[in-house]
Structure 1
């Protein structure tokens, strides 16, 4: 049986001047808080880093889903695990030895996630699924919020879901980019079971209610995988 859907609001769409309050506003509704870390090298934008994550971690009990869009994840990723992140996801394109880094993150107390960007084929990484806890398929180009969902990325989601099923793995299949009420059912039907939503949550009048609606839509989607 597919696990219950996870909704992970992205604070990239929140008001950075009041981050703690923005996170508290989704307590009791969000499953994870998705934290986008960008370094102005791997991706053009620059967001927050470890000091802010440490401070924010003290403000809420919601598990942190940290998405590292950075170069040298081997150097920086363990610090996020040690700071209390529940799941730390690094990009396949930025890492020379994903299996070693995944083991390092697990040893530091976090789940290990592998992200695949828009232009990266998923096939070379399917053999790594037994070594990670989460696979994150970008349904946009990594590095910018507010982009439109790319349905052509769902082929990757289906490929990963098939491999998870064949190998009987306990791996979360996450999607990130343009997830909203009009797209989440497509992603869930393709096999995703964790969903990053930014504007769809923080652009809503009631973020907590938006999360509940998204979860309901994902749970009701027909599962073709």
Structure 2
């Protein structure tokens, strides 16, 4: 694998000084933007207007993670804002393959996410309909939670199936990612990592990103 992708989560950024915090992660691969509606998850963040402003000011592309109900209706709007990647939850989509195709048609990468209690096996036959599969290693809704190591076998099953099928799908992990957990996620098969406080809580976010990337790249399965 080439360098691991590190996507800092703005849930851990300073919302009042967002532009300044975004400037501190210019060496990230993407910025991870969590959209929550207080229905699908018990938290409320922001919607299209805020995402549009982040899009206009971010030095790196946007990786939007929609933790919202009725993804079929709302997800395409985020692709239309220019987000490089839009991920919706499998549990919140009536027609996930059709939605992924719509996102790609608009020009975004299409991702699908699964909660800790959701099996990944139903995705095996449609891997190439998605550009990214996100395995949550916390219950979605809040930053700063502890890493759920019992989700790592899901990543390994996805990795093995993708290899077997020759799929180029990215395997993303989100939740509790730090220097102490990223190697385990990489060893399980992840190649794209969402990190919040491990980046924005560091004195030097750029150095933290570089350290996470190096640690993941050295541990990744081959």
Normalised to the residue count of structure 2, the TM-score between the two structures is 0.98
Query: What are the equivalent positions in structure 2 for 1:34-45 lying under 5 Å apart?
Result: 34-45=32-43
The CA deviation string for residues 56-86 of structure 1, in whole angstroms up to 9 with x for no partner, is 1111230100000000111111111111101
Match of 1:6 in 2: 5
Listed as ranges, the matches of 1:15-30 within 5 Å are 15-27=14-26, 29-30=27-28
Partner of 1:85: 83
**Deviation at residue 36 of structure 1 after TM alignment:** 0.3
TM alignment of 1:90-169, pairs within 5 A: 90-169=88-167
- Measured after TM superposition, the shift of residue 144 of structure 1 is 1.1
Q: CA deviation at 1:222?
A: 5.0
Counterpart position of 2:197:
199
The offset of 1:93, in angstroms, is 0.4
Equivalent residue, structure 2, for 1:189 = 187
Indicate conservation of the 8 Å contact 1:57/1:84, yes or no.
yes
Partners of 2:178 and 2:212 within 8 A in 1: yes
Superposition deviation, residue 160 in structure 1: 0.5
TM-score for both structures, normalised by structure 1: 0.96
Runs of 4+ in 1 over 4 A off after TM superposition: none
Query: 1:128 Cα deviation (Å)?
Result: 2.0
CA distance, structure 1, for counterparts of residue 138 and residue 48 of structure 2: 25
Give structure 1 stretches of 5+ with no counterpart: none
Residue 3 of structure 1 deviates from its aligned partner by 4.0
Are the structure 2 counterparts of residues 3 and 173 from structure 1 closer, same or farther at C-alpha, using a change threshold of 3 Å? farther
Task: Provide the secondary structure at the position in 2 that maps to 1:75.
Answer: helix
Alpha-carbon distance in structure 2 between the residues aligned to 1:83 and 1:42: 22
Size of the alignment, in residue pairs? 222
- Contact 1:81–1:88 (8 Å) recurs in 2: yes
Unaligned stretches of 5+ in structure 2?
none
